[in-house]
Amino acid sequence: PENFFILRGNHEASGINRIYGFYDECRRRYNVKMWKTFCNVFECLPCTAVIDDKIICMHGGLSPELLSLDQISNIRRPCDVPDVGLLCDLLWSDPDAQTTGYQHNDRGVSYTFSSTVVQEFLKKHDLDLVVRAHQVVEDGYEFFAGRELVTVFSAPNYCGEFDNAGAMMTVDDTLMCSFQILKPATAAQQRQAQKGRK
């Protein structure tokens, strides 16, 4: 790719990545200081990106607090991820076809939002597409809200517990989006990989 930008996700927070294995991996391979250095970098990462004024990307999703895109630019960094508010929602919220408007999320943090929320947000900000991650989807990517939002999940066989494919999305000069699929490993391939890690 010509350009590559890293956005902050909900696991780029010390309290989350400490629980979900990143701390242990850093400690095992390097040292705790390395983990702390990563966490300091994570606190500086941007939480969204806009491609050609038409495609907005974030890890989680939309927020009822997001009234202007300038609010995102005004998030001061470095920062930790708060339990509530705009930054929390950008990293934690989820689309839900059963939701009307915004509803509390079963994750216990942030919200779920409806297709109507997506359509109104895009129209208000003159955008065409929301790209997000944050949820395992079987085929690596999944559209929502009449193809106005896409979830792209890049980790096949997530945590060794799912049989999902992963995907990467490419955006060309005309803003045409295409997907590369990362097939899930077979059970035999997973066993072989486990042996190689020991």
Give the three-class secondary structure for 102. strand
What residues does 166 pair with on adjacent strands?
182
Give long-range contacts, CB 8 A cutoff, 24+ apart: 175-179. 175/51, 175/52, 175/54, 175/55, 175/128, 177/55, 177/129, 177/150, 179/140, 179/141, 179/152
Indicate which residue of 11, 59, 104, 125 is catalytic.
Answer: 11
Measuring CA to CA, which residue among 45, 68, 67, 70 is closest to residue 58? 45
Residue 125 catalytic? Answer: no
Q: Quote the CA–CA distance of 69 and 57 in Å, as a whole number.
A: 12
Contact 79, 47 (CB under 8 A): no
The Cα–Cα gap between 108 and 96 comes to 15
113 SS3 class: strand
Catalogue the active-site residues.
Answer: 11
